[in-house]
Structure 1
Amino acid sequence: MSVRLTQQVAAAFSSQGVLAQSIKGFSRRDVQAEMAHAVAESIHSRKKLVVEAGTGVGKTFAYLIPALLSGKKIIISTGSKNLQEQLFYKDLPALSAMLNLTPKVALLKGRNNYLCQHLMEKELSGASSMETQVLDDLLRINQWGGQTTDGDIGGLTAVTENSPALPLIVSSKENCIGQRCDYFDECFTRKARNRAMNAKVTVVNHHLFLADRIIKETGFAELLPDSDVVIFDEAHLLPDIAVTYFGQQCSTRQLSELFDKLIDIYRQELRDAKQIEALSSRCGAILNEWHQMLFELGDSDWRRLLGNKELSVLSWALIKEIKVLQSLLLGHVGRSDNLDDTIVKLELITNKLELFFLCENNQAAYSIDYGHRYLVLRIAPIDVAKECRKLFESDVSWIFTSATLQINRDLSLFTRQLGLTQCQEMLLESPFDYANNALFCVPRHLASVSNHHAALSQFVDVCVKAVNAAKGRTFILFTSHRMLNLVAPALQRRVSYPLLVQGQAGKQSLLKKYRQLGNAVLLGTGAFWEGVDVRGRLLSCVIIDKLPFISPDDNLFRARSESIEREGKDPFSEISLPQAVITLNQGVGRLIRDEKDKGVLILCDNRIVNKPYGQAFLNSLPPMSRTRDLDKATAFLERIK
C-alpha cells in the first residue's frame, strides 16, 4: 500500500499529472510534492507528522490528495469556518473530480450553526410580546428554514450575522429534548451527524473535534465517526483551543434560563407546586444580585475576587439556595419530562459553579468573561500536554500542519504543548520570491510603544504616508481595540480612501466590501490577523502597530507564568515571546498570498531591532528585504501596479 500510494501521489504532482492537466498555469513545486509524500507515508505508517508549510507551499492539496487516494476514513479539522467551507465546497469537489474519485464527503459544524425547528416554533408562538425587529428577522429565518436542505446558518443571508434572533433559534444541548421532539426526524443537527457517520471524508473544526473527543458535550454520543486519519489544518490554534476543552466552563445565562424554565413548568404543568415558582424566583433574584456585584467590580480574575468577603458570602448563598431548590424538585421527579430534563441540567451546571467557587486547582486559571448581561466562568488548565498525549496516542495517523508553527526554526514548542512524541517534523519554506517582492520596514526614530501619546501620533503619520503611497489597498492590524478606536477617527480626517473598521459590519462583509472597492483601507484586530486571503494588487501594504505580546493581565498567562517561575524558568522566553512570534507571523502572512504578489510590511515597533529578543522574530519571518527608511518603503509601494 505504501509504495502504491506514494507512487500515485508522486504521479499526481508531476509535471504531467492530474494537477498539470486540470489547472491552468500549474507549475510543480518541489516543497508541495515533498509534503504530499510525507503525508502519504504518515497515512500508511500511522505515525504522527508535524509540518510547517510556508505560504505558497500549497499545503491544502498536499494533504488532500494523499488522503483521497488512500481510500481511508478521514477527518479534516480546521481552525476556522472559512477554511472548513472552502475545503467542503471548493477544494474537495475539485480534487475528487480531478482524481476521478467519488467519496462521500460531509461538513459538520457545532450545534449552534444549525437551525432548531423546535425552538423556531416555540419563539413564533410567543411572537405577540416580541420586538418588531426580532420578529421580522424570525419570520425571514422561518421562510429560509422551509427552503434550506441542511439548516446551516452559514447559508442564511436574509438577516445579519449578529441578528438578535439567531441565538433564539439555533440548536443547543441545553434546549434539546431528543426523541421527544416533534421535529426529531427532520432535525438538521441529527441529519448532519448521520451524514458524517456515513462519510468517507468529514470536515469539522477544532472546537467540535475536541468537544467530541474530550468531553462529549456535543449532545449526541459519538458525534464524529472513528477514523483512520485525522488532519489538523491551522494547527497552531490547537494548543489554546485544547485548554478550553480540558478545562471547565459554564455560562450564567444557562442558569438564569433554567430558573425561568422551572417557573414556566410550574405555570403550565404543575400548578399544585407553588414552591417551585417561589424558590426559582428566589434563586434568580440572588443570581441577579451576584451578577450586579461582579459587574460593579469588573475584575476577571476569580482568585483576586475571592478576597472580597461580601462577594464570597453571596456566592455561597447562591449555591445554598440552588440546593434547597434541587431538594424540592426531587420530590416531583417523574411528573413531567420537561422537569426531569431541567433537574439533570441544573445539577450539571450547579456542580460546575461550585467547582469554580471552590477554586482549588493551583494548576489552573479561574477567570470570568463579561458579556452584555451574563458571565462565562472558565477554569483553564495551565498545561494540557499530558491530556493531549493520551488523546494523540490512539492508533490513528495524526497530521498537524500550519503556515506558522516554528520559533527560531524549531517546532519543539508546538510539539511540547500538545504532548506529541515520536513524530516526524518538517519545515518547508515558501517558494515565493520574498527578497524581490516584499519589503519589511521598521521606520527609524519611532517613540517607545510605552509612550502612548507619541506612539499614537507617529503611527497615524506613518499610516497616512503609506496609505497614500499604496493608493489605499492597505490592512492596518492592531494588537488592541483601544488603539484601533484611537487611530480610526484620526485617519478618517487625514486620508481620502474608504476606511473599513472592524465592528462596522461582520468580518466577511468587510472583506467583501474591501475587495469590491479596490482602494480601501481595512482596520482590524485579532480576527483579521489570520484566515484572510486577499491576493494581487488589492492588498499592497500591511501595517502593524506593535509586536503582539499577550497582556500581562491575562489570567491564564499569569497562572502559567507563576508555574514557570516555580520551575526556575523565565515566563517571557517560555510563554510571551513564542506566542508573539506565532501571532506576528500570522499577521505578516496576510501580505504575500501569491507568487506574483508584491507588498510592503511596516511594523511600528523598534523593539524588533533594538532588543535582543527581536532576533527571534526576525529569524521566524519570511526572507523579505529590510529597511529602516520609510521613504524607501513608500517608493516601493508607488511602483506596485
Structure 2
Amino acid sequence: MSARLTQQVLATFSADGALAKAIKGFSLRLVQQQMAEAVSQSISSSQNLVVEAGTGVGKTFAYLIPALLSHKQIIVSTGSKNLQEQLFYKDLPALLLMLGLSPKVALLKGRNNYLCQYLMDKELSGASSMDSKILDDLLRINQWAGQTTDGDLGGLAAVSESSQALPLVSSAKETCIGQRCEHYDVCFTRKARNRAMDAQIIVVNHHLFLADKIIKETGFAELLPDPDVVIFDEAHLLPDIAVTYFGQQCSTRVIADLLQQFADIYRTELRDAKQIELLSARCLTLLNDWQQALFEKGETDWRRMLSNKALSTLSWSLLKELTTLKSVLQGHVGRSDNLDDALEKLDAQTAKLELFFLCENNQAAYSIDYGHRYLMLRIAPIDVAKECKKLFDEKVAWIFTSATLQINQDLSLFTKQLGIGNCNQLLLQSPFDYANNALFCVPRHLASVSNHSTILPQFVDVCVQAIEAAQGRTFILLTSHRMLNQVAVALQRRVSYPLLVQGQANKQSLLKKYRQLGNAVLLGTGAFWEGVDVRGKLLSCVIIDKLPFVSPEDNLYRARSESVAREGKDPFTEISLPQAVISLNQGVGRLIRDEKDKGVLILCDNRIVHRPYGQAFLNSLPPMARTRELNNAVKFLQQIK
C-alpha cells in the first residue's frame, strides 16, 4: 500500500492534479509535497513521524490529503478549538469536494461544550428564584435547544460566551446520571460520541484525546475508537497538556456543589435523615474556612504551606468531617439514586483531597490556582515521558507536527519530553522569503530587562516610534500582565491609533475588532503569542518586550529544576532555555503569515545578542535580515504600503 498511497498523494499535488484543478493560481510547494510524502509513508508503514513545518509549508493539506486517501480510520487532534473548527468546517469540506470523496467525518469536543438537556430542565424548574439576566439567557438557550441538531454551545449566538447561564447547563461528568436520564436517547454528548465511533476522520483536540486515553470518563463507553493513525497538529502543546492529564486536579467548587446536593437530597427525598443536612452544612463551613485561610495567604506552592500548623490542622479537620459524612451517607445507600451517585463522586473527590494534603510524591509539583471564589488543587508530574510511552500503541502510526518543535535545528527535546522512541524526523523550512520581507531588530543602548524603572520608558519609546511608522498595524506581545497594564497606560497618552488591550474583551472579539479597524495596536500576553492568524498589511510590526523565560517561582518549573539538579544537570539549559526558544518562535510566527507579507520584529532584550545562550534563539528563528538600529526598522515599516 505504501507505494500506491504515496503515488496517489504526489499525483494530487502535481501540476495537473486535483489541487491545481480546484485552486486558482495553485503553485506547487516542494516542502509541502515533501511533508505529504513523509506522512503517506508513515500511514502506510505504521511508523511514527515528527515534522516541524515552518509557517507557509501548508501542513494542514499535507497531512489531511494522505489521511483521506488512505481510507484508514484516523484521529486528527489539535491544540485549540479554533483550529479544530477550521479543519472540520473549512479544510475538510473543501478537500472532500476537490478529491471527490465522501467518508464519514466527525467533530468531537470535550463534554462541557455540549448542552445537557437534563441540567436545562433542572435549571428552568427553579427559575422563580433566579437572577433575571441569567433566566433571560437560559430562555434563549432553551429556544436554541429546540433548533440545534448537535447541541454544540459554540454555535449558540444568542448568548454571550461569558454568560453565567452557560456553566449551569453545559454537560459535565460530575452531574451526569447516565442511563437513568430521561434524555439519554437524545443526549447531545452521547450522539456526538456515537458519530465519532463510526467516522473515518475524527477531529478532536489534545485535551479530549488525553482525557479519553488516560481518564476514561465514566457514564459512557470509550469516547474514541482505536484508530489506525493519530495526527497531532500544534504538537508543541502536548507536553504541557499531558502534565495536566497525568496529574490530579481537585476543584473545591465540585466539593461545595456535592455538599449542597446532599442538603437538597435531605430536603426533597430523605426527610428522616437530619444528620445528612447537619454534616453537609458543617463540611461546607469547614471548606469555606479552609479556602479563606488559603486566600489570605495567596501562596500557590502547597509544599511551602505545609509548615503552617494552623492550616495543617484545618486541612485534616476538613478531611475528617468529609469522611464522617461519607460514613453516614453509606448507611442510606440504596434509598436514593441521586444520593448513591453523589456519594460515589464525593468519595473520588475526598481521595484526591487526601492525596493533595499528604504531598508525598517528590516527582510532582503541588500547586493551588485561585479563582474568584473557589480553588483548583493540582498535582503535576515533573516528567511525563514514561507515562506517554505507554500511551503510544505500537500498532498505531503516530504523527506529530507543528511550526515550532526544534531547538537549534534539533527535534530531540520534543521527542524526549513525550517519550517518543523510534521515529522518522523531518525539519521543513518556511518557503517564505524572510530575508527580503522581514527585518529583525534588537535596538542598541537599551537598559537591562531586569532594570524595570529604566526599561519601561525605553520600551514605550520604541513602541511609539514603531507604531507611528507602521501607522498602527502592530502587535505588542508582553511576558507579564504587569508590563501589559503599564505599557497600555503609557501608550494611551502618546499614541493616536486605536489601542486594543487583552482583558477588554475575549480574544476572538479583540482580533475581530483589530481586523475591522485596519490601523489598530493590540497588546497581549501569552494567549496572543500563538494561534493568531492576521495576514497582509493589517499586521506589519510585532514588538516583544523580552525573552519569554518561565518565572523561577513557577511551581512546576521549580520542581523540575530540583529534579534536574539532583541528576547533576543544569536546569537552565535543560528546561528554561528550550521552553523560552519555543515560546519566542510562537510569538515571532505571528508576523509573516503569507508569502506576500512584509514586516518588522522588534525584540527589546539585549540578552539575545550579549549572552552565549542567545545563539540558541537566533539559530531557531526564521532567516530574517537583522539590524541593531531602530531607525532601520522605522524605515522598513514606512516602506510597507
Structure-1-length-normalised TM-score: 0.99
Partner of 1:217: 217
| Equivalent AA in structure 1 for residue 501 of structure 2 | V
The structural deviation recorded for 1:220 is: 2.5
Q: Distance in 2 between matches of 1:572 and 1:220?
A: 44
Q: Distance in 1 between matches of 2:142 and 2:448?
A: 54
Q: Decide whether the 8 Å contact of 1:103 with 1:200 is kept in 2.
A: yes
Partner of 2:15: 15
SS in 2 for 1:494: coil
Q: Distance in 1 between matches of 2:605 and 2:218?
A: 43
| Mapped pair 1:117 → 2:131 | no
The structural deviation recorded for 1:263 is: 0.1
The structural deviation recorded for 1:546 is: 0.7
Q: Distance in 2 between matches of 1:119 and 1:486?
A: 43
| Equivalent AA in structure 2 for residue 407 of structure 1 | I
Partner of 1:158: 158
5 Å-filtered alignment, 1:150-229, equals 150-217=150-217, 219-229=219-229
Partner of 1:143: 143
Partner of 2:433: 433
Q: Decide whether the 8 Å contact of 1:110 with 1:218 is kept in 2.
A: no
The structural deviation recorded for 1:395 is: 0.8
Partner of 2:373: 373
| Mapped pair 1:422 → 2:422 | yes
Summarize deviations over 1:594-627 as a string: whole Å, max 9, x none: 0000000011111111111000000000000001
5 Å-filtered alignment, 1:66-77, equals 66-77=66-77
Q: Distance in 1 between matches of 2:221 and 2:552?
A: 39
Partner of 1:131: 131
Q: Distance in 1 between matches of 2:59 and 2:403?
A: 9
| Mapped pair 1:593 → 2:593 | yes
| Equivalent AA in structure 2 for residue 414 of structure 1 | F
Q: Distance in 1 between matches of 2:556 and 2:75?
A: 30
Consecutive unaligned residues in structure 2, runs of 5 or more: none
| Equivalent AA in structure 1 for residue 115 of structure 2 | L
The structural deviation recorded for 1:166 is: 1.1
| Mapped pair 1:60 → 2:60 | yes
| Mapped pair 1:485 → 2:481 | no
Partner of 1:324: 324
The structural deviation recorded for 1:122 is: 1.1
Q: Distance in 2 between matches of 1:479 and 1:120?
A: 41
Measured at CA, do residues 385 and 448 of structure 1 come closer, stay the same or move farther in structure 2, by a change above 3 Å? same
Q: Distance in 1 between matches of 2:353 and 2:322?
A: 11
Q: Distance in 2 between matches of 1:618 and 1:220?
A: 49
| Equivalent AA in structure 2 for residue 572 of structure 1 | F
Q: Which moved more, 1:489-498 or 1:249-258?
A: 489-498
Q: Decide whether the 8 Å contact of 1:536 with 1:597 is kept in 2.
A: yes
| Mapped pair 1:342 → 2:342 | yes
The structural deviation recorded for 1:186 is: 1.6
Summarize deviations over 1:16-54 as a string: whole Å, max 9, x none: 111111111111011100000000000011010000000
The structural deviation recorded for 1:98 is: 0.6
Partner of 1:408: 408
SS in 1 for 2:28: coil
Q: Would you say how many aligned residue pairs link Structure 1 and Structure 2?
A: 641
Partner of 1:497: 497
Summarize deviations over 1:403-422 as a string: whole Å, max 9, x none: 00000000000000000111
Q: Decide whether the 8 Å contact of 2:35 with 2:62 is kept in 1.
A: yes
The structural deviation recorded for 1:12 is: 0.6
Q: Distance in 2 between matches of 1:423 and 1:48?
A: 5
Q: Distance in 1 between matches of 2:91 and 2:368?
A: 40
Q: Distance in 1 between matches of 2:430 and 2:154?
A: 32
| Mapped pair 1:561 → 2:555 | no
Q: Decide whether the 8 Å contact of 1:111 with 1:218 is kept in 2.
A: no
Partner of 1:394: 394
SS in 1 for 2:547: coil
SS in 2 for 1:602: strand
Partner of 2:511: 511
The structural deviation recorded for 1:219 is: 4.5
Summarize deviations over 1:444-475 as a string: whole Å, max 9, x none: 11111111111111111111111111111111
Q: Distance in 2 between matches of 1:58 and 1:149?
A: 32
The structural deviation recorded for 1:180 is: 1.2
SS in 2 for 1:362: coil
SS in 1 for 2:86: helix
Q: Distance in 1 between matches of 2:339 and 2:139?
A: 30
The structural deviation recorded for 1:443 is: 0.7
| Mapped pair 1:584 → 2:584 | yes
Q: Distance in 2 between matches of 1:510 and 1:137?
A: 23
Q: Decide whether the 8 Å contact of 1:211 with 1:218 is kept in 2.
A: no
Q: Decide whether the 8 Å contact of 2:178 with 2:219 is kept in 1.
A: no
Partner of 1:251: 251
Consecutive unaligned residues in structure 1, runs of 5 or more: none
Q: Decide whether the 8 Å contact of 2:52 with 2:428 is kept in 1.
A: yes
Partner of 2:268: 268
Structure-2-length-normalised TM-score: 0.99
RMSD across aligned C-alpha pairs, in angstroms? Answer: 0.8
Q: Distance in 1 between matches of 2:125 and 2:495?
A: 51
Q: Distance in 2 between matches of 1:550 and 1:159?
A: 36
Q: Distance in 2 between matches of 1:379 and 1:217?
A: 19
The structural deviation recorded for 1:394 is: 3.1
SS in 2 for 1:185: helix
